[in-house]
Structure 1
Amino acid sequence: MVGVNTVETEDEYIHVRFRDPDEFDEIRTPDWAENPAHSVSEGSEVRMGQAEGSDDWKVESVLIQKNVGEDKAEDQAKEIVEKIESE
C-alpha cells in the first residue's frame, strides 16, 4: 500500500494526499468510490488519478470532513484506500 504524502486542512475538508497530482493526466472523483469511502467516514470523497498512457486509476487523495481532525482523518483515509485497492 502507498503511504501518506501530506495531510492538509483546507476549507471544509482535510486532504490526505497519497500521490502527487502532477503524476496524473486526469483526476476524477468516481461515484463507485463513494461506497467504500462512506463506509469508513461519512461525507468523505476519493480522488482518483490516471497517468497519461495508462488504463490504471490510482488513489491521488482522500478528502475527510474537517470535524474529524487530522490524525483520525489520516487513519480513515488509509482504511478507505485499503478497501478500494482490495476490491
Structure 2
Amino acid sequence: MAENHSIEAVEEGDDYYHVRYADPDEFDEIRTPDWAENAAGSVLDGSEVRTGHQEGGGDDDWETQSVLVPVDGVDGEDEARSVADDIVAKISE
C-alpha cells in the first residue's frame, strides 16, 4: 500500500474532524474497511478510516484518503491531527 502521510486539510464537522490526506476526487472508489476501523478504534474509539482506490492500481493499492476523528474525543484540531497521524501509522504497520 503506497501511502502519502501528509495532511492536506482538516475540517471540523458536527461530530468529526475530517482529517484529509488525499483529495477524494483522486480515487475511483472509497471505502471504510472494517479492519481499518478496528485499528482506528484502538487508537481512539469512534474513529474511522476511509481508503481510496485508483483505477488501474492493483487490488492491494488502497491509500488512506481521510481519517474521521470524533470531535468529543479530542481537544481541538491539533490533537485531531495527532490522533489521525497515529491511526495512519498503525494501519501502515
Common fold, TM-score beyond 0.5?
yes
Question: Which residues of structure 2 form unaligned runs of 5+?
Answer: none
Task: Indicate whether 1:76 and 2:83 are aligned.
Answer: yes
> Using the alignment, how far apart are the partners of 1:41 and 1:17 within structure 2?
17
> Structure 2 counterpart of 1:77, which letter?
A
TM-score, normalised to structure 2, is: 0.87
SS at 1:79 equivalent: helix
Structure 1 runs of 4+ with >6 Å offset: none
1:18-55 deviation per Cα after TM superposition (whole angstroms, max 9, x unaligned): 01111100001001112210111110000000011112
SS at match of 1:64: strand
Match of 1:14, SS?
strand
| Matched residue SS, 2:41 | helix
CA drift at 1:2 = 1.6
Deviation at 1:11, TM superposition (A): 2.2
TM-score for the superposition, normalised by structure 1: 0.93
Corresponding residue of 2:69 = 64
For residues 23 and 16 of structure 1, the distance between their equivalents in structure 2, rounded to whole angstroms, comes to: 16
> Helix, strand or coil for the counterpart of 1:48?
strand
Q: Of residues 15, 35, 39 in structure 1, which corresponds to 2:38?
A: 35
Q: Distance in 1 between matches of 2:22 and 2:30?
A: 11
